[in-house]
Chain A
């Protein structure tokens, strides 16, 4: 029972580790977990279906266990050294060529497939070990054996939760789990007296040597406590000093949405770059491109109608959008909602000169999930600006669904409007229909280089000032053309039409 438990623990621990690391690196928490899980189950399937009892002796457990442990160790080392090493080269390339973080994800996907192959092999050998345990030790206790594997995977998940909260231990712990597998091999040999005939001494001493080496290696560096993490950060720092310096690195465990990195450019155009979840968010030298149109388009469309009026910014804790609104409108009353206080902190302490202390002038700042805030709030405002990250995860998905547009409409005055950043990951048709299905009368896509969407409750044609070329009106749609089948909704998560 204990062997089945540990066997399952090891496999599912690596599963959790990989799901988190790959999801973060590939900026996707939908596709990556599904692929990792599929690889594991496929490994289990192939391992089980090709299993022939008569091929194996009791001692075969030893070989499979050994392979699982060694592959586990290889996986950890690959992820921590080779993969990250290659990622650093990609990172450097991106920095030197000014490429956005997600443009080279195919290179990371290539490494993802190496990792997926390793996890496939681990599960392939692991299921064979499991079946041999069943054959030799628990033949008529299948229910208990299955229960033990579930408990093993549960223990792995709980252990992983612990590591998530103790971030610095994560890498060291994954090495320890691999060592656990190797030590289990020794336990098999000693306790069960399953001395294999041919490789007996070789395997035993190799397992012992590898274990001792890894333990000593880890223990020696455990004085730093965060050896692997420190090494990683040091390397990044070393790499980036050529071009950049990491000012601030922060992983928020209040949500998956916000993993913040703030970099300083040391080039001629010295500026700061903000990454959320490894995804480019803003560059202070070019932020006008994606903040100014929010404010100036609103000003052009609504004219003087909304002077002294109330606006709500959802997201945008960096303070730039608020700054542009203060510049465009006369004494606007602005409230701002952001999920992470750290972004607000950066906006107040790091960007304060660039955003002209806009966050100090803002009427109210709410630290809350934008969706939940709109649900709770009953206050009507004249304009809502939705400044969210790209929809790369489930938690952000709802911020691009028809449901949030319905909530936004609920919080608008009769002539109120919304403006949002158009994500290139979305299909225009779906975005238009989602907004129209929420009860808005007309929707327009505008902006040069970077697209935005404006929507209000009127149902008459727009009167554009075509003398302003930078608006670059790309397309527009009225309520009469609404197609309810093409909408994004929480109950219909067909979001990634463009992937």
Chain B
């Protein structure tokens, strides 16, 4: 694969996943706290604000080649846990605390997502590729468009949010491997093995987890 294509794939996938995460969080807040205009706009605002802060901070990151894959890995874990986090938050917290908690989670994910695009662009520039800002931006927006349509499409098929988050997490993990240019092959293989065991275990129990969370919702 050409290196320049690798970065385009990274931009597309990460942007797609970030947008999808935002939709999923908005959905959970809408369902558990009511789709109050204030809540939804505040969730989007928190996400955007922290994405802006992340982008701003990305300007000052020095070891960005190490930093990017780690951020993606954290997002991979978080994307898998989103349904769990929100179902349990809804169970444990009163509505106001649930909302505060939601803002906190969305801000954290937004902050990490904010790093992605500027860091990839920096890496590209550093590798002396003819970094075309407008093309990267176009890919970024194309991915967001597809994410918007996908979330819509997703509601017309029999597919639960748990499985969606599971697939998102795997894609995030693959992207972290793709973005990782500083570690050795053996270390990548070790990471992959651990991930395969973990995801395999999760996939094997996904239906039980679904029914467990479904019960927690009504407790």
Query: Do A and B truly interact?
Result: yes
Residue of B nearest to A437 (CB): B214
Give every chain B residue within 8 A of A142 (Cβ-Cβ). 118, 121, 133
Cα-based distance from A118 to B83 in the complex (angstroms): 36
Cα-based distance from A127 to B139 in the complex (angstroms): 13
**A369 and B114 within 8 A (CB):** no
Cα-based distance from A127 to B135 in the complex (angstroms): 12
Which residues of B pack against A, CB within 8 Å?
Answer: 27, 30-31, 34-38, 41-42, 44-45, 48-49, 51-53, 55-56, 58-59, 83, 87, 95, 114, 117-118, 121-122, 133-135, 137-138, 141-142, 144-145, 148-149, 151-152, 155-162, 210, 213-214, 217-219
Taking the closest CB of chain B, its distance from the CB of A1, in whole angstroms, is 11
Residue of A nearest to B135 (CB): A49
A485 interface residue (CB < 8 Å to B): yes
Contact of B218 (CB < 8 Å), options: A48, A253, A255, A403? A403
Taking the closest CB of chain B, its distance from the CB of A37, in whole angstroms, is 4
Which residues of A pack against B, CB within 8 Å?
Answer: 16, 20, 29-31, 34-35, 37-38, 41-42, 44-49, 51, 53, 127, 131, 134, 141-144, 146-151, 153-154, 157-158, 160-161, 164, 253-257, 369, 372, 375, 393-395, 397-398, 402-403, 406-407, 410, 485-486, 489-497, 499
**B41 and A164 within 8 A (CB):** yes
Contact of B161 (CB < 8 Å), options: A147, A164, A493? A493
**B45 and A158 within 8 A (CB):** yes
Give every chain A residue within 8 A of B214 (Cβ-Cβ). 402-403, 489-491
Taking the closest CB of chain A, its distance from the CB of B55, in whole angstroms, is 4
Q: List 7 A-B contacts (CB under 8 A).
A: A44-B141, A45-B138, A151-B48, A154-B49, A164-B37, A393-B35, A394-B35
**B134 and A131 within 8 A (CB):** yes
Cα-based distance from A253 to B41 in the complex (angstroms): 13
Contact of A160 (CB < 8 Å), options: B41, B51, B142? B41
Cα-based distance from A151 to B56 in the complex (angstroms): 10
Residue of B nearest to A408 (CB): B218
**A16 and B141 within 8 A (CB):** no
**B27 and A131 within 8 A (CB):** no
**B48 and A153 within 8 A (CB):** yes
> 18 more A-B contacts (CB under 8 A) besides A37-B148, A143-B122, A161-B37?
A34-B149, A37-B145, A41-B144, A41-B145, A45-B145, A51-B138, A144-B55, A150-B48, A150-B49, A150-B55, A157-B44, A158-B45, A395-B36, A403-B217, A407-B218, A490-B214, A490-B217, A496-B155
Cα-based distance from A398 to B209 in the complex (angstroms): 20
**A369 and B34 within 8 A (CB):** yes
Give every chain B residue within 8 A of A148 (Cβ-Cβ). 52
**B38 and A491 within 8 A (CB):** no
**A495 and B45 within 8 A (CB):** no
Give every chain B residue within 8 A of A372 (Cβ-Cβ). 95
Residue of A nearest to B162 (CB): A491
Most A CB atoms within 10 A — which of B52, B83, B144, B159? Answer: B52
Closest 10 CB pairs of A and B: A150-B52, A48-B138, A41-B145, A44-B141, A143-B59, A143-B118, A49-B138, A395-B35, A147-B56, A394-B30
**A154 and B48 within 8 A (CB):** yes
**B118 and A42 within 8 A (CB):** no
Residue of A nearest to B61 (CB): A143
**B55 and A146 within 8 A (CB):** yes
Contact of A494 (CB < 8 Å), options: B144, B145, B155, B210? B155
**B158 and A41 within 8 A (CB):** no
Contact of A161 (CB < 8 Å), options: B38, B148, B162, B219? B38
Contact of B138 (CB < 8 Å), options: A44, A149, A494, A495? A44
Cα-based distance from A46 to B130 in the complex (angstroms): 20
Residue of A nearest to B87 (CB): A491
Taking the closest CB of chain B, its distance from the CB of A53, in whole angstroms, is 8
**B148 and A34 within 8 A (CB):** yes
Residue of B nearest to A47 (CB): B138
A38-B148, A45-B138 known; A395+B31 contact, CB < 8 A: yes
**B148 and A41 within 8 A (CB):** yes
Taking the closest CB of chain B, its distance from the CB of A150, in whole angstroms, is 3
Taking the closest CB of chain A, its distance from the CB of B167, in whole angstroms, is 15
A51-B134, A142-B121, A398-B31 known; A491+B213 contact, CB < 8 A: yes
Cα-based distance from A141 to B60 in the complex (angstroms): 11
Give every chain A residue within 8 A of B145 (Cβ-Cβ). 37-38, 41-42, 45
Cα-based distance from A257 to B34 in the complex (angstroms): 9
Cα-based distance from A398 to B83 in the complex (angstroms): 16
Give every chain B residue within 8 A of A131 (Cβ-Cβ). 133-134, 137
Residue of A nearest to B117 (CB): A146
**A375 and B52 within 8 A (CB):** no
